[in-house]
Amino acid sequence: MKIVILDWKTMTWNNELSSDVFKKFGDVECYDFTSPELAAGRIGDSEIVLCNKVQITREIIDKCPNMKYIGLFATGYNNIDIEYASEKNIMVCNAGEYSTMAVAQHTFAMILEVYSKISIYNNAVKNGEWISSPAFSYFPYETSELYNKTLGIVGYGSIGRAVAKIAGAFGMNVMINTRTYPKNCPYKVCSLEECAENADIITFHCPLTEKTKGIINNSLISHMKKTALIVNTSRGAVVNENELAEALNCKRIAGACLDVLDKEPMNPDNPLRYAENCIITPHSAWSALETRKRLLDIVFENLDSYLHGNPVNRVN
């Protein structure tokens, strides 16, 4: 059996993980990255394709008639033509919920950076500001408690639920906006507008759909407090980047923390790059070593289950 891995370098930075585990199933051809024009040629007559972000389009599927299975090193599968894959009897399996705790942790790491200003105070100490302080305690940069603040969570899947649980530990008030009304939800479920109007922090954990594309825009921001913070660790395209940058620069909201952008890697002229009070991390919320090991295990088990006739985590 021929197996091709198209973008292994999205899984490992310093070779701390190995693709050799897949050799159990057959001959493995592994590529660091694959550009769109090279994808069909590299897949060739392989039956198994493993990838993260490489686009598997209708055209590529037509050029690779031996393809039977696509395994994703990801939860999202918008890079695959799912409908056409189904038509051609190609099974697609993803890796759901592998990054829940890592992304929830990253969400609060960004929130705490804004509320506690750890890096700002660390830089102040390194620059000698505390040494010259007249008092034992030096606090010229205003910080705030999360206690009793309102957190709006857009999307109540596994990550949204984990974020809500952490918020509870901080004594925050939680409001939920979600597509379907959740059963036994201990939090207030409300419209997106009500969430925006009441939240001190609004964090996005929703999938990218036609309805959520560009949802962080002038209309939403017009409902928010000027002191509010936006956090997005979901998909970059849920943000209208020009409108968010303008709102930040005009101080219509207090700040934004983003782990994802519409175009990745980041374009040098992205309007959010130098926007006021905007923290950006390079799509790294999911990247803890433990998280990537878990992801590798899921992709391995998905393929093993498929080959034994008991497929799991199917998306088509």
Fold match flag (2-98+289-307 vs 100-280): yes
CATH of 2-98+289-307, one of 3.40.50.720, 3.40.50.300, 3.30.70.3400, 3.40.470.10: 3.40.50.720
> Which has the closest alpha carbon to 160: 146, 149, 174?
174
Q: What percent of the chain has pLDDT over 70?
A: 100
Give the tens place of pLDDT for each residue, 133-150.
999 999 999 999 999 999
pLDDT, tens only, 8-35: 999 999 999 999 999 999 999 999 999 9
pLDDT given at position 119: 98
Annotated catalytic, 283? yes
Provide the CATH number for the domain formed by 100-280 in this structure: 3.40.50.720
Query: What is the tens place of the pLDDT at every residue in 31-57?
Result: 999 999 999 999 999 999 999 999 999
Confirm whether 223 is a catalytic residue: no
In angstroms, the Cα distances linking 198 to 140, 153, 202, 282 are 28, 12, 9, 29
| 308 among known catalytic residues | no
Among 16, 58, 264, 314, which one carries the catalytic annotation?
A: 264
Confidence class of residue 107 from pLDDT cuts 50, 70 and 90?
A: very high
* Tens of pLDDT, residues 232-273: 999 999 999 999 999 999 999 999 999 999 999 999 999 999
Note whether 242 and 215 are within 8 A (CB): no
Answer for the pair 50, 71: CB distance below 8 angstroms, yes or no.
yes
Residue 80 confidence class, pLDDT cut points 50, 70, 90? very high
Residue 125 pLDDT class (50, 70, 90 cuts): very high
**Vertex 53: Cα angle to 47 and 56 (nearest 5):** 45
Looking at residue 316, its pLDDT comes to 96
| Average pLDDT of the residues of the chain | 97
The single residue of 106, 161, 205, 235 carrying the catalytic annotation is 235
Question: What is the distance of C-alpha 284 from the center of its chain?
Answer: 8
Q: Categorize the per-residue pLDDT at 62 as very low, low, confident or very high, splitting at 50, 70 and 90.
A: very high
The identity of residue 195, as a single letter, is C
**For residue 2, what are the β-bridge partners?**
27
Cβ neighbours of residue 120 closer than 8 Å, sequence gap 6 or more: 141
Average of per-residue pLDDT across 80-89: 98
pLDDT category at 204 given cuts 50, 70, 90 is very high
How far is it, in rounded angstroms, from Cα 139 to Cα 133? Answer: 10
Q: Write down the domain spans for the chain.
A: 2-98+289-307, 100-280
Helix 289-307 / helix 100-116 crossing angle, nearest 10 deg: 160
CB 256 within 8 A of CB 277: yes
Confidence of residue 5 (pLDDT cuts 50, 70, 90): very high
The SS3 call for residue 298 is helix
Marked catalytic residue, from 42, 252, 273, 283: 283
pTM of the model: 0.94
